[in-house]
Amino acid sequence: MIIYDCIATLEPLPESLVVVTKKQLDMNAAKGGLVIFTANSNPSSRELGKRIAERLGVELGKVQVYQEANRETRVQIQESVRGKDVFIIQTVSKDVNTTIMELLIMVYACRTSCARNIIGVIPYFPYSKQCKMRKRGSIVSKLLASMMCKAGLTHLITMDLHQKEIQGFFNIPVDNLRASPFLLQYIQEEIPDYRNAVIVAKSPASAKRAQSFAERLRLGIAVIHGEAQDAESDLVDGRHSPPTVKNMGAIHPSLEIPLLIPKEKPPITVVGDVGGRIAIIVDDIIDDVDSFLAAAETLKERGAYKIFVMATHGILSSDAPRLIEESAIDEVVVTNTIPHEIQKLQCPKIKTVDISMILSEAIRRIHNGESMSYLFRNIGMDD
């Protein structure tokens, strides 16, 4: 009774003070509900996470990721994530399989620690090239997507998937961001005479991407046709297994299947004029550089006086830096979706474009429940 009388005699707070107090509580709740982890134990791969955290004005979450003596991955989260939005930034290091296990174990650890949402920020999605059936192989991208969802991932942020259809492998929301605005900005700001350039597709398969770049830069386009067969050709597709050999003993005469005409690669031709122009080759991934070197030699023979290569993901494995340094390519421009500091030391031709800005904005919008459409403005499906 005494407590009731005391409360009843209190004067109500001014309305302005109530509003301010409520806003402060909302801001504090939003600030406390966001945690950013980097799942990669490789120090060189943590740089992107630090850039994103600095742009958001937060500190990276405390977590310990390391390898046991028997190469088992161990993850220890050193702060509470209960009821919070957890963003796990994972860049792909040279040891891809260890990278995947680090991510899966950290996602599962956050799930068992009662995190509200677990969002994976994976700028380069590993095994993205294995997204089609190849003879008696498997669609590894589908397997990896299932593993991530099963571990507890509730949302995925990635960039320039090798095939956009990979989004269909997930049963969670997937935001496939684009790096093309940053690469276009680099062309406009770092290539003084880019108006004398032509956008080049090193194969007909990448013609749509080249067309999208050319239309937004108001430039011409050229397509190289007849290059050497690569590993992703239709010849290794499951549709050619078993071999198309006519066997009258195995096939009923009424069900005779016509023989397929084998493909023949035509001589290398360049559709478009590159003489006296700057050639800018665009693609999504640059890993094995043999096809890029062959394209550069062809363009040089056709009269191009400068050759640039623009790609989102610079894997640049094996001897790629040395081969680029000795080639006719003048500059290779990639984003920092994959750490490549060692490759840059080996080859000064490699330049980096920072894309942490769009990743940090995506994280902020998802955490605040805002629309993601702003990040896709003026973005074509062919980028």
pLDDT tens profile 245-275: 545 455 566 666 677 777 777 778 898 999 9
pLDDT of 20: 37
The H or E element that residue 295 is part of is helix 290-301
Q: What share of the chain is helix, strand, coil (3-state, %, to 5)?
A: 40, 20, 40
The pLDDT of 104-128, averaged and rounded, is: 96
Rounded CA-CA distance 181/145 in Å is 27
Per the document, the length of the chain is 383
pLDDT at site 252: 61
Give me the chain's average pLDDT, please: 85
Rounded Cα gap, residues 24 and 29, in angstroms: 8
Q: Does the pLDDT value for residue 240 go beyond 80?
A: no
Q: How confident is the model at residue 5 (pLDDT cuts 50, 70, 90)?
A: very low
Least confident of 39-53, 97-111, 278-292: 39-53
Q: What is the pLDDT of residue 261?
A: 74
% of the chain surpassing 90 pLDDT: 68
- pLDDT tens, position by position, 121-167: 999 999 999 998 888 889 999 999 999 999 999 999 999 999 999 99
Sheet holding 117-122, edge to edge: 34-38, 85-89, 117-122, 155-159, 174-177
